[in-house]
Amino acid sequence: LAKTTQPISMDSYEGQEVNITCSHNNIATNDYITWYQQFPSQGPRFIIQGYKTKVTNEVASLFIPADRKSSTLSLPRVSLSDTAVYYCLVGDRLPQTGANNLFFGTGTRLTVIP
Amino acid sequence: DAGVIQSPRHEVTEMGQEVTLRCKPISGHDYLFWYRQTMMRGLELLIYFNNNVPIDDSGMPEDRFSAKMPNASFSTLKIQPSEPRDSAVYFCASKTDRGGEKLFFGSGTQLSVL
């Protein structure tokens, strides 16, 4: 059973800020929210992880509202090289995490247009 | 660190043949995962190990699939006999016990069963 819902695809022009929202209505208290990026012919790559409020790193920002039922990945000033599939995962950090916590789903295909 | 290493990069075989995919996780990582990716199903978790012990193999599609992890630095995914519907990209990933949901993926094995 999928725990997250994301748009199938998005387009953006170069230089724009891109926000991809993920719904996770059934998120549990212990669950963290993690985003991955996948380029063609490569394995997914970790982007960012958070639990609540806002997390920022050198690549992206992650915004999580108080109810944690959704999250938004924000990519500042995208370039053509940001064209990829972006996955949102929800899962807890306990060692015996179940398989569902590492379910990638179909992700959001972002296309950056020149 | 060389990252997660998978071999072969590409495998073409005929239906009915045995296929063995190999993975070397990042040194020191406690968890190893096998995923399969197709256009129709996206990324599916097949099985994962913790400290060389299989924890959850509920994603393994059939008895034709088997996975082993004889030691901390090596794992295999075997398909016997192979079928055309097994054609996919197979990814191996690893993570530490303290890494939350931060998985490190290999480059994958592109399997084609004719």
Q: Tell me the pLDDT tens digit for each residue of A40-72.
A: 889 999 999 999 989 999 999 999 999 999 999
Band of the pLDDT at A1, cuts 50, 70, 90?
A: very low
User: How far A84 CA lies from chain B's nearest CA (Å)?
Assistant: 14
Helix (H, G, I), strand (E, B) or coil at A101: helix
- Contact between B100 and A32 using a beta-carbon 8 Å cutoff: yes
Chain A contact for B39, CB < 8 A? no
**Residues of chain A contacting B93 with CB distance shorter than 8 Å:** 43-44
Residue of B37, B50, B101, B111 to mutate, testing the A interface (most A Cβ within 10 Å of its Cβ): B101
Q: Tell me what pLDDT residue B100 has.
A: 66
Binned average pLDDT, 10 residues per bin, chain B of 114 residues = 92 97 95 92 90 90 94 97 96 83 92 97
Of residues B29, B20, B113, B42, the one with CA closest to residue B71: B29
pLDDT digits (tens, 9 = 90+) for A85-95: 999 988 765 55
- Contact between A99 and B101 using a beta-carbon 8 Å cutoff: no
Gap between the Cα atoms of A55 and B71, Å rounded = 36
- Residue environment code for B93-109, b if the CB has 16+ CB neighbours within 10 A, otherwise e: bbbeeebbbbbbbbbbb
Beta-bridge mates of residue B109: B90
DSSP H helical ranges for chain B: none
Of chain A, the end-to-end C-alpha distance in Å amounts to: 37
pLDDT at A102 over 80: no
Band of the pLDDT at A97, cuts 50, 70, 90?
A: low
Q: Which residue of B has its CA nearest to A41?
A: B107
**Residue type at B47?**
I
The contacts of residue B98 (CB under 8 Å, 6+ apart) are: none
User: How far A105 CA lies from chain B's nearest CA (Å)?
Assistant: 6
